[in-house]
Structure 1
Amino acid sequence: MERKLAAILAADVVGYSALMERDEAGTFERLVGIRKALIEPEIAKRRGRIFKLMGDGLLAEFGSVVDAVECAVSLQGALKERNAEVKENERLEFRIGLNLGEIIVDGDDCYGDGVNVSARLQQLADPGGVCISSKVAREVEKTLAFGFEAMGEQQVKNIAEPITVHRLVQEGTSPQARLSRPPALPNKPSIAVLAFANMSGDPEQEYFADGLVEDVITNLSRIPSLFVIARNSTFAYKNTATDVRQIARELGVRYVLEGSIRRAASRVRISAQLIEGKDATHIWAEKFEGAAQDIFDMQDQLTEGIVGMLVPTIRRAEIERARRKRPDSLDAYDFFLRALPHSYANTPADTSEALRLLTEALRLDPNYAAVHGYAAWGYEQRFLRGGFDPEDRAAALGHADAALVTGSDDPQALCLGAFVHATITHDYERSINALDRALMLDGNSSLAYGLSAMVHMFNETYDRSRDHAFKALRLSPLDPMNYHSYLALAWVSLFTGRFEDAVKYSALGIQVNPGFSILHASLVASYANLHRLEAARAAAARLLKVAPDWTIGGFVRMDVVRPQLMKGLASALRKAGLPE
């Protein structure tokens, strides 16, 4: 059996059972005709292979995700034209799902989560539509002229974790009617937190719910990147049956948070959901539960949990919104948002694209502190992993200084500027002071905690590093930047002799960011220190696949921890046969 990465297309006929019941022979004949005349040639043209036929559906694999998406769009377009000439009760419409993932090849068949997720995505698609995973969206959004509408996280059958789903939208089309345009919105994410509904009938819980909402509003208001409607405005809608879309229009916000509280015996349960106000799309939902005996501690925990999950969720939604905007309407904020996924990916190619977009943002707004922070990080990555060009070093430190000066009250800018100085200049005292200020300004910033974990690891204050890494992961368990926290935990484990933990955290980090070469190197060193050389060599092969030019010498030259520790890592890496 062979394992490989592939794009999987799953297609299924809409209402096939009903069509067969009405006209079994005719339906089957039409399906076979469409498959032979249209589907099979189109898949072959795009260098795909059908590996399973299932009566009313099929599964196909592609070596290129771009080919798979173009095939899906072409198929749906051709089927639409074909159906225009067919009686309505004889039309065959397909749903298509696309995923990019690892599959197991067994002879002519394929198995694995990569296949299973595609099948579930197909079930979420509209008739004549295409649903894709977030992995597919990330791969093709720079290459293909299609838009993507976020459908949020979807829980599907037999898949443990929710899937982040996007609906593919061809240029000039929209899959659903839009409501009238709301009033002008602030040039940053805007949110209204509504009073939570008291579902228990207990007046005491009414006060608790109101206090919780006030705390959430207060904590959100401390985050400079958010525009938050004041309590008095949102509580005007309390105990009314007003449509969320109307509330968003009247308050001039993009997002609305609503929820409910229920008490049963000694337990209190709170449900919260984030809704995009324009079309009432549910973006995120979560339940928080705790003992009623210590109501105020639980209120603090719930506030922290809601705010910690809410901010990265809004950020992901804002990124998707920016992706869907036409290039000629982009402003500095939109360029910033478009750069973020490339910054998160942290591969050489993505870093270059992020810097291009960030440069455009700074051209429009030279004092944009957060953009200076991400630009500093981009140039730092290019310097450390792209040849140690002195110009990249100077650019990294220049943008880091700009972030720290212009962003003295911006947690994002502070923590990124601090991180870059820590890696390049090793001025840990200055960096830690800036990170502590970022956390004082926003105690719910998973980014600040994650980067603080890295800097404290560099500084060999390992207990603080571990505490901050776990705090970041608890605040935002699905954050694309979590690989920093896992890297901090992995290296703390390596440097303190806990090699099994180092394997675990390195592998978890790779799951978050498969293209980050340092995590692959960390996994190699972890296996080598456990004398599991076969696993170390396999991990080394994966490292070189991700970064073909990677060398031990270049790794050591990064000089991010003291020389003795870097030499220890290098010695472990040599055991796996990696190039010098």
Structure 2
Amino acid sequence: MQSKLELRIDGPFEARDESGAPVAGLSARGRAMLAFLALSPDTRASRETLATLLWGDRAETQARGSLRQELSALRKVLPEGVLDADRDCVRLIGAAVAPPPPGAVLLDGVAISSGAFEDWLRDARSRRADDLADRSLTAARAALAAGDGRTAQAEAARALDHAPDSEAALRCLIDAVAAGGDRATAHAAFRRYVERQHTEHGTQVPADLQALVDGVRAPAAARPEGREPAVAVLPFDELSGGAGDMFADGIVEEITGALSHVQAFRVIARQSAFALKGEALDVQETARRLRADYLVEGSVRRSGDRVRIAVQLVGGETGETLWSERYDDRMDDLFDLQDRIAAHVAGQLSPSLRRAEILRARSFRPEDRSAYDLVLTALPHFWAHQKDENARAVALLNAALERDPDYAPALAYKAWALAQQPSYMWSDDPDSDHRAALTTARAALERVGDHAPSLVAIGAAITLSSGEVRLAERIIDRALTIDPNNAWGLMRRGWLYTYIDRAADALDVFDRAEELSPLDPFRFNIFFGQAVAVRVLGRYEEAIRLIHEGMHANPGCTWVYRVLAGVYKLMGRDADSDAALEKLLEHYPHLTARYLMNCIPPSARDFQPDYVDALRRLGLPEG
């Protein structure tokens, strides 16, 4: 029997009816309720449980009333008969849960201000990841016992996606090579595992595990000094069109064109990729023939006026899937649809490729890394928004400049990193760091040409370390003219707009940045930018919520207590402001009013006088 409702609860929440059409109009609590019911025994839960879970911050009577309203709203949008409720229980009927995509997190992006829900979600994510990992590992061991190395490796890789710290899954994956698995893919998985142990836990892999993998290691291929990766967009499979249908080719042409604007990689000419159409080549051979480091593959399926487009990025050396996405849409305007899909692919593919390149660069010994490799290695330290990590990024960028003193990306990111030091109160001498950031930014600007990522970094440094907002705006606009789908460029444009009385426009830009790169490592800074924009518009409660969302996304960003204290002061909530200030001083005990004013970006001081006045009234010692 076909289910009336399909739920995707791993990753961004989706609900689709039996025709495949998305169910619109679901609130955050509605999505959470459906997921909770889907995971509950017999897909049912008591009203009391749901009211406490989703409205635990409210009185019992109010919580039960809110539950009734939410159930009424759900019945209006869900297929008939899917949600059943009596006086005591609520039950989900005829609903199926879609298989989780690799690495997806349960209810990613769903945030509710309820302590009970946060506790449940944290535990449920851990239980679900462990359960899915155990299932895959059991299947992998069964395949190993049957001598099926490729299936064993695929299942072990799935287990690692769900439980990336599972040494047992990694050992199983390595064992699969002896039974016919792929050496390069096993090496890539090991490399990711080693990197995670180092960055997340500060630990080294056991010596026996290192010895085990030495027999299957496939060293990363070196590239010519400073060469950026090459990407080829292959012809998409048209799964439902007639002979001679050009829709899939049109999608590929638009994606190739959009990617060609991204300066972080080179795009193989479309005609070269199409020359291989129809040849039965595996991924590695296709990449070798095209001299591409990465391949973009896809398929198009149409039914009536609806179209489903699946896209994935794979490593040319390993054949490993690095990113995948599915787009479902209507074919109302063919050209608008092609443009929209191309923009999304370009925006979301960039951070995935960047992550792959960072892992590749780290596989080399530090002394063997090129200036390009060293810049890549610096990026995770740079975007962590923590004092020690930022200092490490500057050191790596200096090492890149020792390799090549005129390397514009290294100069540009160094300028941005130097500008972060005073802006986030890590600096011993804010004025000196602001000057150094500007000097480095100007040196980068002389060498940058049309490299959009470097232009974004230069614009960010000028925004943070000077009052020259119009110059910064021109530089960031230039970057976005070159690469309209650059999520970091859109993020910095949003921040800049908050300094020039364009807060409403800033919100539109931040939304676009998040849409293009929803898993971006800088997503937390998008939340903070949105908080500043709505604060400028006088929407203080919304600002507080967004600040907390950003802090949840990156708990290491303690400098943002400064913003929180200022917003509470503007609201007249002095007790909350004092509590935020106390938290701020725990991390920055050296803080004085003079130091704080010297650290704030000059643009913010000039264009946000009410906020600056609120900070002056926090009661910090003058210094």
State the TM-score, normalizing by the size of structure 2: 0.65
**How many angstroms apart in 2 are the aligned matches of 1:146 and 1:203?**
55
Q: Is the 1:191–1:254 Cα contact (8 Å) retained in structure 2?
A: yes
Aligned partner of 1:309 in structure 2 is 348
**How many angstroms apart in 1 are the aligned matches of 2:382 and 2:304?**
47
Aligned partner of 2:277 in structure 1 is 238
SS of 1:379's partner is helix
- CA deviation profile, 1:212-239 (whole Å, cap 9, x unmatched): 1112112212222212111122112323
Q: Is the 2:361–2:373 Cα contact (8 Å) retained in structure 1?
A: yes
Q: Is the 1:183–1:249 Cα contact (8 Å) retained in structure 2?
A: no
CA drift at 1:250: 2.5
SS of 2:321's partner is strand
**How many angstroms apart in 2 are the aligned matches of 1:331 and 1:446?**
26
Aligned partner of 2:521 in structure 1 is 480
Q: Which amino acid aligns with 1:336?
A: V
1:69-148 residue pairs with structure 2 within 5 A?
112=123, 115-116=126-127, 119=130, 123=134, 124=159, 125=166, 127=168, 129=170, 140-141=198-199, 146=204
Q: Is the 1:559–1:566 Cα contact (8 Å) retained in structure 2?
A: no
1:91-240 residue pairs with structure 2 within 5 A?
112=123, 115-116=126-127, 119=130, 123=134, 124=159, 125=166, 127=168, 129=170, 140-141=198-199, 146=204, 171=210, 174=213, 177=216, 187-203=227-243, 206-240=245-279
CA separation of 1:525/1:252 partners in 2, compared to 1, >3 Å: closer, same or farther?
same
State the TM-score, normalizing by the size of structure 1: 0.70
**How many angstroms apart in 2 are the aligned matches of 1:438 and 1:278?**
31
CA drift at 1:320: 1.9
Task: Indicate yes or no: 2:429 matched with 1:418.
Answer: no
**How many angstroms apart in 1 are the aligned matches of 2:569 and 2:312?**
45
CA drift at 1:578: 6.7
- CA deviation profile, 1:461-489 (whole Å, cap 9, x unmatched): 22332222221111111111233332222
Task: Indicate yes or no: 2:580 matched with 1:569.
Answer: no
**How many angstroms apart in 2 are the aligned matches of 1:168 and 1:534?**
53
CA separation of 1:288/1:169 partners in 2, compared to 1, >3 Å: closer, same or farther?
farther
CA separation of 1:367/1:183 partners in 2, compared to 1, >3 Å: closer, same or farther?
closer
CA separation of 1:135/1:128 partners in 2, compared to 1, >3 Å: closer, same or farther?
closer
Q: Is the 2:467–2:606 Cα contact (8 Å) retained in structure 1?
A: no
Q: Is the 1:422–1:455 Cα contact (8 Å) retained in structure 2?
A: yes
Aligned partner of 1:151 in structure 2 is none
CA separation of 1:410/1:180 partners in 2, compared to 1, >3 Å: closer, same or farther?
closer
Q: Is the 1:179–1:279 Cα contact (8 Å) retained in structure 2?
A: no
CA separation of 1:118/1:577 partners in 2, compared to 1, >3 Å: closer, same or farther?
farther
Aligned partner of 1:368 in structure 2 is 407
Q: Which amino acid aligns with 1:315?
A: R
Q: Is the 2:294–2:314 Cα contact (8 Å) retained in structure 1?
A: yes
CA drift at 1:418: 1.8
Structure 2: gaps spanning 5 or more residues: 1-102, 106-114, 116-120, 135-158, 160-165, 172-188
Choose from 262, 281, 284 the match for 2:301.
262
CA separation of 1:475/1:128 partners in 2, compared to 1, >3 Å: closer, same or farther?
closer
Aligned partner of 2:141 in structure 1 is none
**How many angstroms apart in 2 are the aligned matches of 1:504 and 1:564?**
26
Aligned partner of 1:405 in structure 2 is 446
Q: Is the 1:179–1:278 Cα contact (8 Å) retained in structure 2?
A: no
**How many angstroms apart in 1 are the aligned matches of 2:483 and 2:196?**
29
Aligned partner of 1:278 in structure 2 is 317
Q: Greater CA deviation, 286-295 or 477-486? A: 477-486
**How many angstroms apart in 1 are the aligned matches of 2:605 and 2:322?**
46
**How many angstroms apart in 2 are the aligned matches of 1:114 and 1:263?**
35
CA drift at 1:291: 0.8
**How many angstroms apart in 1 are the aligned matches of 2:370 and 2:211?**
21
Q: Greater CA deviation, 113-122 or 411-420? A: 113-122
1:327-342 residue pairs with structure 2 within 5 A?
327-342=366-381
Q: Greater CA deviation, 137-146 or 404-413? A: 137-146
Choose from 298, 301, 323 the match for 2:337.
298
Q: Is the 2:435–2:465 Cα contact (8 Å) retained in structure 1?
A: no
Q: Is the 1:182–1:249 Cα contact (8 Å) retained in structure 2?
A: no
Q: Greater CA deviation, 568-577 or 396-405? A: 568-577
CA drift at 1:492: 1.8
CA drift at 1:528: 4.5
Q: Is the 1:190–1:228 Cα contact (8 Å) retained in structure 2?
A: yes
- CA deviation profile, 1:139-163 (whole Å, cap 9, x unmatched): 833995747xxxxxxxxxxxxxxxx
1:27-38 residue pairs with structure 2 within 5 A?
none
**How many angstroms apart in 2 are the aligned matches of 1:183 and 1:326?**
12
Q: Which amino acid aligns with 2:501?
A: E
Q: Is the 1:495–1:565 Cα contact (8 Å) retained in structure 2?
A: no
**Larger strand proportion, structure 1 or 2?**
1
Q: Greater CA deviation, 495-504 or 255-264? A: 495-504
CA drift at 1:265: 1.4
Aligned partner of 2:163 in structure 1 is none
CA separation of 1:390/1:544 partners in 2, compared to 1, >3 Å: closer, same or farther?
closer
CA separation of 1:139/1:550 partners in 2, compared to 1, >3 Å: closer, same or farther?
farther
CA separation of 1:433/1:175 partners in 2, compared to 1, >3 Å: closer, same or farther?
same
CA separation of 1:423/1:322 partners in 2, compared to 1, >3 Å: closer, same or farther?
same
CA drift at 1:288: 1.1
Q: Greater CA deviation, 406-415 or 445-454? A: 406-415
Q: Greater CA deviation, 534-543 or 432-441? A: 534-543
**How many angstroms apart in 2 are the aligned matches of 1:259 and 1:178?**
30
Q: Is the 2:310–2:327 Cα contact (8 Å) retained in structure 1?
A: yes
Choose from 408, 414, 419 the match for 1:380.
419
Q: Which amino acid aligns with 2:302?
A: R
**How many angstroms apart in 1 are the aligned matches of 2:291 and 2:319?**
14
Q: Is the 1:121–1:133 Cα contact (8 Å) retained in structure 2?
A: no
**How many angstroms apart in 1 are the aligned matches of 2:192 and 2:528?**
23
Q: Which amino acid aligns with 1:112?
A: D
CA separation of 1:266/1:528 partners in 2, compared to 1, >3 Å: closer, same or farther?
same
- Give me the identity figure in percent: 30
Q: Is the 1:335–1:358 Cα contact (8 Å) retained in structure 2?
A: yes
**How many angstroms apart in 1 are the aligned matches of 2:450 and 2:207?**
39
Aligned partner of 1:58 in structure 2 is none
SS of 1:200's partner is coil
**How many angstroms apart in 1 are the aligned matches of 2:506 and 2:193?**
30
Choose from 388, 392, 396 the match for 1:353.
392
Structure 1: gaps spanning 5 or more residues: 1-96, 105-109, 148-166
CA separation of 1:410/1:261 partners in 2, compared to 1, >3 Å: closer, same or farther?
same
